[in-house]
Amino acid sequence: MPASNRPRLLILSFSPIASDARVLKQVELFTARYDVTTCGYGPAPAGVVEHLQLPDDATIKLDGRLITLRAYPLVYTRTPAVVAARAALAGRRFDVVLANDVETVPLALSLRAPVHADLHEYSPRLHDDNPAWARRIGPYVRWLCRRYVRRAASATTVGEGLAQAYASEVGVRAQVVTNAAPYAERTPTEVGLPLRLVHSGAALRNRDLMVLLDAVALTTTPVTLDLFLMPNDPAYIAELRDRAAQIDGVRVLDPVPYARLGDTLAGYDVGIHVLPPVNFNNANALPNKLFDYVQARLALVVGPTPEMAAAVERHGIGSVASGFDARSLADVLDGLTPEKVAEQRAASHAVARELSAEQQVLVWERAVDALVAAPAEGGAR
């Protein structure tokens, strides 16, 4: 590693960093002024001085026997990802560590540098729709938060509802850095009929994507719908394709690479996302696709998820359904016209820079710069 007078920053994430959109924003933000080392799975992201690649089989799988015994310190130290990362980081020194997600924070603190914790979700209730997870794993994650994350010098998370839960339930004060997309120079295209609807994202059953198809079947407004879905659940995708074949103008398509997603979305009129509140994080979601749709200069149609609905209504960039069911969504589609959608697309254009990643990442910049300027033990409490 070349000698440098620049501060040494470790970005630690138990994820494939080169394809993790949120962590890549951190890398891109800091490589201009810091000597950035990354530690995570997969190949090195561009611009770093060193990448410590973890073996793919060094997962974050927990020892079920130790979980049953509530031997939480051993659960953590024996987690394969922690073991591999600790070995990779042995003997290295950093001026500051940016630790992604709860699982990396104890290891980051052991490096004896100021730690900023970026908490992507509300981890203590990540799968609280699964009773076994809530009973066995939830208490362990709360232990991690109360014992370790509270000792981080500063923290961020992706939305206000999650920040409030971190503060009230585990005593961690976190600022908000949304999953905003990078600013794109685009202008809205002309809107006609049928209205071109689009949804992109994961093919997960608990997202109940069939509601989108059923709403298109119910609406009286001429529309088409394309869904670009990740192959999370091939059987579920097959079910969606079978249903789509019964509805004119609906297609279930393969995903496009993120580098091409913005240009692909920009060929549509309306981005749609109705996320049933099946667990705490879904109920408090402010997902990246909302910001992807804005950067594509689309109108938005969302369900009544509080933070999504508030953003859409505050900026006038779309419409909010009264419920998460097909009839409620169809009622919104029934009210859309080319003129209304054109107005909402123009509103997305007007706020695209304000809602861009370039504005959001300034929170990380201020937090990390402050830790380098005054490295001292603190707390995110």
**In Å, how far are 13, 89, 222 from 152, measured between CA atoms?**
15, 19, 52
Is the backbone peptide bond immediately before 194 cis, with ω within 30 degrees of 0? yes
Dist. CA 83–CA 102, nearest whole Å: 16
Q: Which parts of the chain are beta strand (E)? A: 8-16, 35-41, 50-54, 96-100, 115-119, 154-157, 175-176, 195-202, 223-230, 250-253, 270-273, 299-302, 318-320
pLDDT in tens, 176-200: 999 999 999 999 999 999 999 999 9
Helix (H, G, I), strand (E, B) or coil at 116: strand
Prediction pTM value: 0.92
11 forms beta bridges with: 38, 98
d(CA 113, CA 94): 6
Query: Is the per-residue pLDDT at 332 higher than 90?
Result: yes
d(CA 24, CA 160): 22
Residue 135: per-residue pLDDT: 97
For the record, the structure tokens of 249 come out as 């103008």
Q: List 233's β-bridge partners, or say none.
A: none
Whole-angstrom distance, CA of residue 43 vs CA of residue 165: 34
When pLDDT is cut at 50, 70 and 90, the band that residue 231 belongs to is very high
Q: Residue 380 has what pLDDT?
A: 52
pLDDT given for residue 3 in this prediction: 57
pLDDT at 355: 97
Rounded Cα distance, 366 and 225, in Å: 41
State mean pLDDT over 230-235.
95
The answer to whether residues 145 and 124 touch, using CB atoms and an 8 Å cutoff, is: yes
pLDDT of residue 1: 45
Domains and CATH numbers, the chain: 8-177+361-373 (3.40.50.11930), 195-356 (3.40.50.2000)
Q: How many CB atoms lie within 10 A of CB 152?
A: 26
